[in-house]
Amino acid sequence: MEKTLTVTVTGAAGQIGYALLFRLASGEVFGKDVAIDLKLLELPMALPALEGVKMELDDCAFTNLNSITTTDDLDTAFKDSDWALLVGSVPRKKGMERKDLLNINGAIFTKQGLAIENNAKDNCRVLVVGNPCNTNALITKSKCQRIPSKNFFAMTSLDEQRAISQLAQKSKVHHSKITNMTIWGNHSSTQYPDFYNAKIAGKGALEVIGDENWLKTEFITTVQQRGAAIINARGASSAASAASAALATIKSLITPTKEGHSFSVAVSSSEAKHLYGIDEEVMFSYPIKSDGENWEVIPEVELNDFSREKIKATYEELLSEKKAVSDLLS
C-alpha cells in the first residue's frame, strides 16, 4: 500500500455505522492503494455489539483493512485520526423539543471536539453525520483551535441524493443525468433543494420538467420531509442511504470535481467567505467544488427572489440553533 489512513467512526455499531464500515474497509472510498486503520467508538453498553461488527470485518479479510480498534474511550478513538466520521448522536424522541435535542447532542459533540483537538492529526478532516449535523459540526469545530476550520463538514449529500432521485423519477431519466443539484443551508425541513440551477442531461431542470408549481411545492416538500417519511414507513431512520451519502461526501471532497459540476456539503460560512449573504458563522450547505485537496464555494450562482427567500429561511433557522447552544460555543 502506498499510504495508510486512520479513520475514526463514532456510533460504529449503529445502523449507519454498520452500513458504511465494510465499504470503508474495502478500499472503495480512499482507493485500492490506501490501507485503512479503523478506530471504532461506541458507548460502553454497545461494546459487545461492536465486537461482533469487528468479527465480521475480520472475516471479510479485506486487503485494504490494516487494523481495527474498538473502544469507548474518546482519546483512544481519535488518536492520530486522518478522518473522523461523527455518526453517533441522540435521536429526537417523542415530546422532545428541538432545543432539548441540540443541548443533549451539544454536550456529546463538545467532548468529541475536545478529543479531536487533543489527539487527531493536525490536518484531520471531520464529517458530522449525527443530527442536527450542521450545529453539531459548529460545536465540534468551536473546540478545535489546532485543526483548520476548513476541515469541518456537515452532511447534506443525503438531501442532494434524495432531490436527484425525485428529479430523475419526474423527468423519467436515469439519476446519473442529474447534475448541479445544490442543497442550500441546514440539513432539516428548511433546507432548499435548488431546482432552478439543477441540470437534467445538460438542460435546466425547469425547462425539462416544465412544471414550476410542482418543483416549488411537492418537490421541495418531498425532499425536506423524506427522512420523516422513511421513519413512518420502516419504523427507523435512514441508515443505508445515510451511510452511502456520507461516503459519497468523502469521495466528492478527495476527487477533483468535473468542470461545470458541483456537490453539496455544509462548510464553515467564514471559510466560504460569507458568500450569498451568510454573514454570521454557521455551518451552511453550498454548491462546492474540489481539486481533490482543497474545496471552494462556487461563486456567483444566479438566485431569483424565490431562492433567496428560501436560503434566508434556512439561514435564520441555523442562527436560531446557534443561539440555542451559544453557551457551548467557545
Catalytic residues: 187
Q: Report yes or no: 249 and 153 within 8 Å, Cβ to Cβ.
A: yes
Q: Which residues of the chain form beta strands (DSSP E)?
A: 3-10, 34-41, 65-71, 83-86, 125-128, 152-154, 178-179, 182-184, 192-194, 199-200, 203-204, 263-268, 283-290, 295-297
R_g over Cα of the chain: 19
- Residue-level length of the chain: 330
Distance CA 240, CA 228 (A): 15
DSSP for residue 75: H
> Dihedral angle at the C-alpha atoms of 241, 247, 251, 252, nearest 10 degrees?
50
> How wide is the angle at C-alpha 37 spanned by C-alphas 31 and 40, nearest 5°?
120
Separation of alpha carbons 291 and 142, rounded Å: 26
Q: Residue 52 corresponds to which cell in the numbers above?
A: 461482533
How many Cβ atoms from other residues are within 10 Å of residue 258's Cβ? 10
Number of C-beta neighbours around residue 99 at 10 A? 14
Give CA 209 to chain center in angstroms. Answer: 28
Residues in Cβ contact with 182 at an 8 Å cutoff, skipping those fewer than 6 apart: 160, 193, 194, 197, 198, 262, 264, 285, 286, 287, 301
